[in-house]
Structure 1
Amino acid sequence: MSAPLWDITALAVDAAVAETPMAVRARAALPEAAVTVLAPGDPLPQAPDGGRALHIKAHPGRFLRPCPATRHYRCCGYQIIHIGENCPMDCSYCILRAYFRDRTLTAFANTEAMFAELGRVFGRDPSRLFRVGTGQFADALALEPITGHTRELLGFLAGHPNVVLELKSKTADLSWMEADPDPKTVLPSWSLNAPVIVAAQERDTASLEARLSAAKACVRAGFRVCLHFDPICWFEGWEREYAATVDMIFDYLAPDDIAYISLGSFRCLPELPGRLMAEGRELPRYMLGEFTIGPDGKTRLLRPLRVRQLRFMARRLAGHGFSRGLYCCMESDEVWRAALGQAPRDLGGLAAHLLSRAHNPGGTRPCS
């Protein structure tokens, strides 16, 4: 008997969404999982055999929301479509460890309500361009073979050409391509890291080679892709390790295949190290460096060290011919100028710059 996907051994479905297409797909994809239909107020079942539970439910709130930002750092203007919560992968640095205190995965099945909300926003002014993504409170594609959420979303977005959807993942899943979306409206996206970090700190994720092979397959199908180095971790030998990943990118991709690349130094909520130790996990060496508490309340590497990281990465990427689509994630203008030689205001604003990169491969300014 084969193990369920992601070790999901319990499938809990709220009665209100039990007959939705997503719930039907999930039951078919997880034939070995114990299925419980929950009436209002029923407790979530425990997953047997030390596995995980997947809870399919209705989301009661807003589906579209701005990326969590702070006035102290430059935000990229990304907007989140909230499709679910928690992640089956196990990355030591993940902020979701602080947000979600258990192993239960959640997917929202009331897609009719989601599409009604999105339709009102996206259809209000068809000349307004949007850059959205689903990979903030969950990996965008980890549950796609089970839920079909992205394929459903892409079918809806086919009627909204003013929207570009970024699919940010650490998997190599390409099943979403079955929806046959317009390549101009989707940005497949991968988080990358140093080989030693991927091997030891990103458990249950696809290998770097698998992620980049998936990116190459997308390029061959006509898509441009996005890459994210976030977090960049500080440890002995980090320059060598990150240089290896940057060099590997261009074994698979050409600079023009990439819409943009983000750079973000490791940062976390102060309670993260304690969470890891409570789980019985040894603190990774990159968490034992020189840190301070930033204006956003997060633990951050000291500014001179962050600048050194960002400058190193920018120069290595430039050595391969990539520089126009580079940006820093959640950094101040001072750090931007020290690391990249320019601030977002020099680009006409970071959100506008990335919107232009997303909707216009040649870099022309979008309509406003």
Structure 2
Amino acid sequence: MASPEKIYIDQEVKSSPLALKIIEKLPAIPVEILLPGEDISQISAPSDSLTLYLKHYRGKFLRPCPGTSKYRCCSYRIIHIGENCPLNCSYCILQAYFQDRVLKVWANQDDLWTELDQAFSRDKEKLFRVGTGEFTDSLALDHLTQYSSSLINFLKSYPNVCLELKSKVINLSWMQSVSCPSQVLPAWSVNSPDIIALEEKGASSLEERLTAARACARNGFRVCLHFDPIIHYPNWESGYKKCVEMILDYLKPENIAYVSLGSFRFMPWLKKIIMNNHPQSTYIYNEFITGLDGKTRLLMPLRLKQFKFIANSLKHGGIFRQLYFCMESDLVWKEVLGYTPKDLGGLGNHLKRLTFNSDQ
């Protein structure tokens, strides 16, 4: 992973453990302290310059997953540790919000711990599925921040919480901090090898991801896999067939906690951004409609064909009860899997049972 060309630090967190740790690891990188009221967005920097910003964050750290009432959501909670990603995936929704190469990391971790303690201590019987891979990749900056290890150490006092680390890169250093493997779910996005090679610049290969997943399984962890986004492109069947075959070569069904399936979907304004940033990407010219949530989605017959193909391939390999859809309707669930989230007692409850191996 490339190192940043410059580090900006809010004055309030310049002496924080996280800031001191990163400065020690990157002694040759210039550092600029931002005074209260200074805005990094006003600082001129080349658009291709990778910058690290250690920020005193004042917003909410624990958030609900940004789903919609129009489709079935998984009731996942986000631990918000930063924004933006050093990878360069052509389809990434973050492009619509972050038009720069500034990697933001929240350095006021004491405030994070306080908020998490208040949420998780309120009812020790309430189970939480949480993760850090929504506004950034969970592991892409871990070689600098060790944020995952810090979270794992903090969460040891909260057996009602399970942390998912979702990534497209390989960094297993966090494993050294784990005392209870059932409290951590290492997770990787998976895709057709064709899509990974063409559309996920800077990310690890599928083989590398699955090798890491197998290493986790051999160390007592269950892993999660996310087919998201599933992309429609010429010869997609052979690409996703290869992906499933590789999964079955590296992992046993009992190694897997759950597998999500999500078709490529995007806010309408993202199309132009992809066209400008990634002119080689042709999947954005597929047959799309506007969904109930306002997002652009592949036509349902095309989605269903892809979903059925991948789901049936996984089922033949013994992976079935772990499957779920990300942001799809009951109609899709019924057509592909033969049941709806309601039949499972609600998707959020179902995934908590898979996560904690419980009936709660």
TM-score, scaled to structure 2: 0.97
Distance change >3 Å, CA 181–CA 48, structure 1 → 2? farther
28-37 vs 206-215, which deviates more?
A: 28-37
- 2:118 maps to 120
Q: 1:288 aligns with which of 285, 290, 307?
A: 285
**Hey, what's the Cα distance between the residues in 1 that align with 2:47 and 2:280?**
27
Q: 1:12 aligns with which of 8, 27, 52?
A: 8
- Displacement of 1:283 in angstroms is 4.8
Say whether residues 1:365 and 2:359 are aligned partners.
Answer: yes
Aligned 8 A contact 1:29 1:145 in 2: no
**Hey, what's the Cα distance between the residues in 2 that align with 1:285 and 1:96?**
19
- Superposed CA offset, 1:41-85 (max 9, x none): 334355579431010011101111100011110001100000000
Aligned length: 358
Aligned 8 A contact 2:288 2:298 in 1: yes
Q: Secondary structure at the match of 1:11?
A: strand
Q: 2:251 aligns with which of 250, 253, 265?
A: 253
Give RMSD over aligned pairs: 1.3
Say whether residues 1:39 and 2:46 are aligned partners.
Answer: no
- Displacement of 1:181 in angstroms is 3.7
Q: How does 1:1-368 map to 2 (within 5 A)?
A: 5-44=1-40, 45-46=43-44, 50-279=48-277, 281-360=278-357, 364-366=358-360
Q: How much identity, in percent, do the aligned residues show?
A: 50
- Superposed CA offset, 1:6-43 (max 9, x none): 24111101110011111011112222321111111334
48-57 vs 92-101, which deviates more?
A: 48-57
Gap runs ≥5 in structure 2:
none
Aligned 8 A contact 1:25 1:148 in 2: no
- Displacement of 1:276 in angstroms is 2.3
Q: Secondary structure at the match of 1:102?
A: coil
36-45 vs 103-112, which deviates more?
A: 36-45
Distance change >3 Å, CA 231–CA 189, structure 1 → 2? same
- Superposed CA offset, 1:208-256 (max 9, x none): 1111111111111110000000000001110110010010011111010
179-188 vs 348-357, which deviates more?
A: 179-188
Distance change >3 Å, CA 14–CA 320, structure 1 → 2? same
**Hey, what's the Cα distance between the residues in 2 that align with 1:35 and 1:251?**
46
**Hey, what's the Cα distance between the residues in 2 that align with 1:197 and 1:115?**
38
Aligned 8 A contact 1:9 1:49 in 2: no
**Hey, what's the Cα distance between the residues in 2 that align with 1:207 and 1:240?**
17
Amino acid at match of 2:221: F
- Superposed CA offset, 1:165-220 (max 9, x none): 00000011111112124101000000011011000100000111111111111111
Q: Secondary structure at the match of 1:31?
A: coil
**Hey, what's the Cα distance between the residues in 2 that align with 1:273 and 1:338?**
29
- Superposed CA offset, 1:306-355 (max 9, x none): 11111111100011111011000000001111111111011111000000
Amino acid at match of 2:207: E
Q: Secondary structure at the match of 2:5?
A: strand
- Superposed CA offset, 1:138-185 (max 9, x none): 001111111111111111100000000000000111111121241010
Q: Secondary structure at the match of 1:154?
A: helix
**Hey, what's the Cα distance between the residues in 2 that align with 1:275 and 1:127?**
44
- Displacement of 1:295 in angstroms is 1.3
- Superposed CA offset, 1:239-274 (max 9, x none): 110010010011111010000000001111111121
Amino acid at match of 2:293: D
Amino acid at match of 1:365: D
Gap runs ≥5 in structure 1:
none
Aligned 8 A contact 1:9 1:32 in 2: no
**Hey, what's the Cα distance between the residues in 2 that align with 1:159 and 1:357?**
21
**Hey, what's the Cα distance between the residues in 2 that align with 1:206 and 1:222?**
23
